[in-house]
Amino acid sequence: MKPWAGAKKDEKGFSPNAERRTTNGIFFISFWHRFFNGKRYKRQAENGGEKMAEKYQNLFYNQTMPHAPKPYRLLDHTADLGMECRGKDLTDLFEKAARSFFDLMIQGPKINLHQENLISLEAPDQEALLVAWLSELLYLFETGPLVLGQFTIQRLTPTSLQARVQGEYFDPRRHQIKQAVKAVTYHQLRIWKEKTIWKARIFFDL
């Protein structure tokens, strides 16, 4: 006998429990498909060099970001929106801040990495550099318009950075704007280290 054969059914003969099992099953299959594909690309990356490693990293980020815990949390403020993000070091923090910024603004499928831009910035201090970094990404989004999905900090000092960013042109059929951001602000701006984790707090003008 089928596990749900004795379950209560509605007037059309459908079992809610069976429908829930089907939904959970689809999610379970989807999760393990991403997990094992990620493992496979990781093994190929170890044997196939930098290009395959980059492909593995992009696959893992783009396919798991919607379901995985976010590397940031939102902060509410009157007429503004803020986020607090975290990273294992300063380089990782700046990369995670960029990813979180676009995750906050855009909803859509996997971002194709067809377009590439090199960025070189200088600022008076670390906090101002973070504002300049996100402001430059916002500029690329507004003028491209580019939806960015990969951020590689190639060089980072307390007052300068060089980075490579990759993404694709905005397509209204694939990308939905979740939050329109006017500017990156200095309001309550802070970068600090908490035990072994680096954190940053930054607010956006909406």
pTM of the model: 0.65
Domain segments of the chain as ranges: 16-63, 69-205
| 203 strand-pairing partners | 82
Residue 138 CA to residue 144 CA, distance in Å, equals 10
Collapsed DSSP state (helix, strand, coil) of residue 206: coil
Instruction: Give the burial class of 72: count Cβ atoms within 10 A of its Cβ; 0-12 exposed, 13-18 middle, 19 or more buried.
Output: buried
CATH topology for 69-205 is: Archease, Possible Chaperone; Chain: A; domain 1 (3.55.10)
For residue range 62-71, what is the model confidence (pLDDT) as tens digits? 433 444 556 6
Q: Binning pLDDT at 50, 70 and 90, where does residue 59 land? A: very low
Q: Is the pLDDT of residue 50 over 50?
A: no
Collapsed DSSP state (helix, strand, coil) of residue 139: helix
Q: Is the pLDDT of residue 22 over 80?
A: no
Q: Is the pLDDT of residue 81 over 80?
A: yes
For residue range 89-143, what is the model confidence (pLDDT) as tens digits? 999 999 999 999 999 899 888 899 999 999 999 999 999 999 999 999 999 999 9
For residue range 145-196, what is the model confidence (pLDDT) as tens digits? 999 999 999 999 999 999 999 999 999 999 999 889 999 999 999 999 999 9
Q: Which whole number is the average pLDDT over 66-84?
A: 65
Q: Binning pLDDT at 50, 70 and 90, where does residue 80 land? A: confident
Residue 194 CA to residue 93 CA, distance in Å, equals 13
Identify the weakest region by mean pLDDT among 37-41, 44-48, 98-102, 180-184.
Answer: 37-41
Q: Binning pLDDT at 50, 70 and 90, where does residue 3 land? A: very low
The tokens for 188 are 């309550």
Average per-residue pLDDT in the chain?
Answer: 76
- E-strand ranges in 88-159 read 106-107, 115-122, 146-157
